[in-house]
Each structure stands twice: as C-alpha cells, then as structure tokens.
Amino acid sequence: MRIAFVDGGTYYHHATFNDPALRGTFDLNIHAPELVHADLSQVDCLYVASRQNPVDLIAARQAIADFLAAGKLVVALGETRPDLWLDGVQWRPGETNFWWWLEPGADSGLRVGDAHHGLFARIGLADATWHRHGDLATPPGAVSVVDTLEGRSVLYDDAVSGPGRRIVATLDPCYHHGSYFMPAASRFLHGFLPWLKAGAPARR
C-alpha cells in the first residue's frame, strides 16, 4: 500500500515521519494546509497523523471525499476531529485520565472488540492502551477493533458506510511516539504501520 503521511508541521509529526524504524512505511509527506490541492493519484492511503489542526482538514474535506470515492483508505487518528471532515463519524468528547494506571485497581476501560480483526495479528490490546480522547459510535456494519466498557469504540474499521474505507481512532500515537514517552504508543505504531503497509488486511 502506498501511504501519504498528512503532516501538521509539529515536532511530533516530524519525529514520527522521520523515525528510521517507520520511515519506510510512508511514500509521501503532505503538509496539511496543502492537502486541499495535493495530487493523491499515486497513493492508496491517507494517514492523518494525530493531534493536528482540523481547520486544514475541513478545507480539504472534498478532496478527502473524492479520495474515498476512488475506493481508497483514510486513517483518521485522535485529536484531528474527523467528525468535522469525514461523513458519518460521530465523536463524543470525554474527560481524559492521563495517568489512570497509577490508581489502585486501575482499569483502562478498553476491551478487544473483534478479536479476529487483522490488526490483532500485529498488536495486542495493551499496545492500544494508554488513554483516549473521547470515543466514537461505531457505524452500522463497521467493525469496532477496540471497544469501551460503555459500548462505544476508540478504534473502528469502516468499509460499509460509503465508498472507500475509513479507519478512525481516538488514540494519539504520533504525539506520544514523537514526544518520546508512552511506550504503548510506540508499540502501537510498530504494529499498526506495518499492518497498514501490508494492505491493512481486515481478518487474521
């Protein structure tokens, strides 16, 4: 799969994109404000890195819709407000407990959704567990990969809501990996990105 990294211009995007262990995943870097005019004909996947200004993504909403209409894949990670630029995304904000594991009897509140999803050939639940920035309603027919105890999702795979495929998450791995803390976020990327590069197989 040919992947374009949508880059908001932050230090953590730069660090993630240029990490020697990950750099081979990406075929193109697109500065987010330039996405609206970018030539996307040579890529199969838009990887919208976590924690960036949604204003740039809203401006590119039609370009993203056209990309999906061509049967391609959009990955929308946490803190990018995909509910504002991807049709059908229902995101709900929530209080973020950054250090929940320090509490006695701590429980992240996350559970495996579909244990047979292809991503779980590369990662385990612990690799997707640090904290979450809100949660998502899984669209009818889509697959929640990581569930919340409340019956919502923090990562889902949607190939049914419209043309193309959407992988949407409230996790922010690029921020933590590029900030050099939160080892689970780095483990997530070291599994998620090779899975994506291999075509993001939906089943194990």
The string of pLDDT tens digits covering residues 136-167 is 999 999 999 999 999 999 999 999 999 999 99
Q: Is the pTM of this model over 0.85?
A: yes
Buried b (16+ CB within 10 A) or exposed e, 139-154: beebbbbbbbeeebbb
**For residue 202, is it within any domain?**
no
- DSSP 3-state percent helix, strand, coil across the chain (nearest 5): 35, 20, 45
Average pLDDT over residues 121-128: 96
**For residue 191, is it within any domain?**
yes
**For residue 203, is it within any domain?**
no
Q: What is the CATH number of the domain that holds 90?
A: 3.40.50.880
Domain encompassing residue 126: 3-197
**For residue 204, is it within any domain?**
no
**For residue 63, is it within any domain?**
yes
Average pLDDT over residues 179-187: 92
**For residue 128, is it within any domain?**
yes
Per the listing, tokens 């080892």 go with 183
**Which residues partner with 7 through β-bridges?**
31
The alpha carbons of the chain give a radius of gyration, in whole angstroms, of 16
**For residue 74, is it within any domain?**
yes
Per-residue pLDDT tens digits for 36-95: 999 999 999 999 999 999 999 999 999 999 999 999 999 999 999 999 999 999 999 987
pLDDT at 76: 98
- What's the number of domains the chain is made of? 1
**For residue 94, is it within any domain?**
yes
